[in-house]
A = this chain, B = another copy of it.
Amino acid sequence: MKLASLKDGRDGRLVVVSEDLAYYADAGHIVASLQAALDDWDRYEPALRLLATDLQHEAIPLERFHERDAAAPLPRAYQWADGSAYVNHVALVRQARGAEMPDSFWHDPLMYQGGSDAFLGPRDDIPLTDESWGCDLEAEVVVVTGDVQQGVSREEALKCIRLVGLTNDVSLRNLIPGELAKGFGFFQSKPASSFSPVFVTPEALGDRWRDGKLHGALEVELNGQPFGKADAGEDMTFDFGTLIAHAAKTRKLGAGTIIGSGTVSNRDSDGGPGRPVADGGLGYSCIAEVRMVETILRGQAATPFLKAGDRVCITMHDDRHHPIFGTIDQTVVAA
């Protein structure tokens, strides 16, 4: 089952979307919003599934689904907690600045609490006030949970996953060092993230969803050129069950919590820092990583951060080359 929220007020209008993303059926007669559905999933999920089946059989009136009309599936959420599960990415950051990475990073997940009060839709512009802030994309996988009890195990946590999707976790790289030096983590350096047009239930992902990970190439384009195609199922040191259990160690998590994977990143096959797609590599899921690789290889970064007019696309295709979650397609605009 694929769910989206059409732009309408603060919480959008919940719709069920056909598997090929061509059509939708309004779910308003079942439940008003995706958050409300997640709040009482056992009650609403069966009815939403029946609607999805009717939609697939064209047994009900269909409406054409336009990704541009979609808000983030959860236009606002009560929790957005983003991990950093591709430790390869963290190791590269450290290597670029000549810092050692503690061994604990391989068994204790990094996670930060993000702002969740107002997300961007998949086609919304990225507003940027000051290009010197160093605006970056970060292509990631996310899951949405139901209620999660405190102290949950990895295995129990996996059962709490209701939906899977993609995000562009926009970051202001040049504000990060100052904020992290203050010791309280990210705040100003993390403006609103955007999310894929639809979120998908795990079972509808088939073999793509296994071991608590989403498998497949996360395709990133920058200004129409291939930028990254790392496999989200590879080199993910901490699966989503482990990330959720980490988040729930000292407190329960409310239904509708969004947990992020952190920037997807694959090791190069030769063990090196990775090559651009144009050079036959898997490329990158954020600009910071290519800048780190450039710094390691050539002493300084060459690829600039995002500026007004730059365009970012993030998607993942199924085996028939259909986008599974639709496409995040955003342009940076001066704000």
| A interface residue numbers (CB < 8 A to B) | 10, 39, 76-79, 81, 84, 104-105, 108, 110-118, 127, 129, 133, 150-151, 172, 175, 180, 182-189, 191-192, 246-247, 249-254, 256-257, 335
Contact = CB atoms under 8 A, between A and B. Distances in A.
Greatest chain B CB density within 10 A among A39, A77, A250, A254 is at A250
A295 to B, nearest CB: 19
Contacts of A182: 104-105, 108, 110
B192 A251 contact: yes
B113 A185 contact: yes
Nearest to A181: B102
A111 B184 contact: yes
A186 B187 contact: no
Q: Quick one: copies of this chain in the complex?
A: 2
Nearest to A105: B182
A250 B117 contact: no
A150 B126 CA distance: 13
Contact of A254 (B81, B118, B172, B247): B118
A194 B78 CA distance: 16
6 contacts: A79-B116, A105-B182, A112-B184, A117-B253, A180-B183, A180-B184
A256 B117 contact: yes
A84 B184 contact: yes
A77 B78 contact: yes
A254 to B, nearest CB: 3
Contacts of A184: 84, 110-112, 180, 185-186
Contact of A250 (B110, B188, B249): B188
A176 to B, nearest CB: 10
B187 A111 contact: yes
A181 B189 CA distance: 19
Nearest to A116: B78
Nearest to A10: B39
A109 to B, nearest CB: 9
Greatest chain B CB density within 10 A among A77, A133, A254, A335 is at A254
Given A105-B182, A113-B114, A191-B250, 19 more contacts: A10-B39, A10-B254, A78-B116, A79-B117, A81-B187, A84-B184, A111-B187, A112-B187, A113-B115, A117-B257, A129-B151, A129-B250, A150-B335, A180-B184, A184-B185, A184-B186, A188-B246, A191-B251, A192-B252
Contact of A172 (B77, B150, B250): B250
Contact of A186 (B79, B185, B192): B185
Contacts of A249: 188
The 3 nearest A-B residue pairs measured at CB: A185-B185, A117-B254, A78-B117
A195 to B, nearest CB: 15
Contacts of A254: 10, 76, 117-118
Contacts of A185: 112-113, 183-186
Contacts of A180: 183-184
Contacts of A104: 182
A170 to B, nearest CB: 9
